[in-house]
Structure 1
Amino acid sequence: MQRRHALIVCLLVLVTTPVPSRCGAAETPLRDQIVGTWIYVSSTGKREDGSNVPRPNLRGAVTYTADGHFHFITTPIDVPNFASGDPARPSPDEAMAIASRSIAYTGTYTVDESTRTIIPTVEASTFPNLVGAPNQRRVVTSIGADEMRFTNPRNPAGVTLEFVWKRAR
C-alpha cells in the first residue's frame, strides 16, 4: 500500500511540475545565430500599396562574421556570357544587364536583440547611395539552424523586400 501511495505521489509530482518552456529558457542570441554564410533562396517585393514587385532570378549569398563584418551579393542567373570574353569590355547592353540587376555591399553590422534587427553600416557598394546611408535595417522574421528570413523595410525604391536564405554547408 505504501509503495502504491509513493508511486502516486511521484507521478503527481511529475505531472504537475512545470516543464521549462521556450519562453523561460535562455535563447541563443540572434547575433550568434546569424554568424555564417547564407545562400540566397528567393526574395519577394511589396510596394506600400500592397502590390507585388517582380524580382529577378538571382543567386547570391550573405555572410556575417563573429567579429561584426558582413558581405552581401546577389546577381542575376539568366544573363549570357560577355561576347568579348573580357570582364573589362562588356557591350553596353551586357553591362546594363548585369549592373541593373546585381548588388554587392560590405561593411560592419550590429544586432538589436530586442527588435531582432540586423543594422548594417555599408562601407562599399556597387550602389554608391548605400554607402553610409542611415536607417539601414534587416528585420529577422524567422531563423532556424538551416533557414533565415529577413525583410529590408527601407530601400531606395520604396519597396519592402523579404529574403529567404539557407545556411551554407
Structure 2
Amino acid sequence: MVIATVFLTIIGMTAGFVLGERHRDRLRAADPQDTTDIVTPYPADSSYASGPSGALCPDETIAFAAANGYPADLRQIFKAVTNNDTNVWICEDSNGQLYYQSQTKASSGVFDQTANALFLPRANRQGDNEYSAVASDGAKFLINSKQLRITFPDGRKPQVNSVESWE
C-alpha cells in the first residue's frame, strides 16, 4: 500500500512538472524576447480556442492518463454525480479527444483505477450534454444530464442511475 502511494505520488508530481514545463514553453513561445515576466498569453475570458478551458480533471485521472501514454492536459467538460454515489467526468485534451472517468462509492474517498474507478479513452459526444464510451469488455456507458446508463455485453439488464447534480 505504501509503495502504491509513493508510486502514485511520483506519477502525480511528474505529470505536474510536465504540465508546468509545457505551460512555460508556451509562454516563452508567445513572447521570445522577454522571459523575465511570465504572463498568460490567453485571455481570462476563456476564449482560448485551441483547447478546453474548464477545471482540471481529477489528479488521479491526470496521473493515470500520463502513466498510460495519454495526454495529461485533461480539462473537465462536466462532472455528474448519480444517485448511487458515482461520479462521472468527461474530460478533453488540447487536441479535442474526449475521455470518460468514473468513480463508484465516491463518498468513501477512495479513487483507485483498479478498484472503484474507470478511465476510458475515446469517449464520444452523442449530442447536447450526452457522451458515450465503451470499455474493453464491451460494456457501454452513456451519460447525460439526466442519467448514467450502463449496458452490459452479456445481456444483463442495463444499470440506470439518475443524475443528481451536473457541474
The answer to whether TM tops 0.5 is no
Greater share of strand residues, 1 or 2?
1
Task: Give the shorter-chain TM-score range.
Answer: 0.3 to 0.5
Greater Rg over alpha carbons, structure: 1
TM-score between both structures, scaled by the size of structure 1: 0.36
Greater share of helix residues, 1 or 2?
2
Q: Which structure is richer in relative contact order (CA contacts within 8 A, separation 6 or more)? A: 1
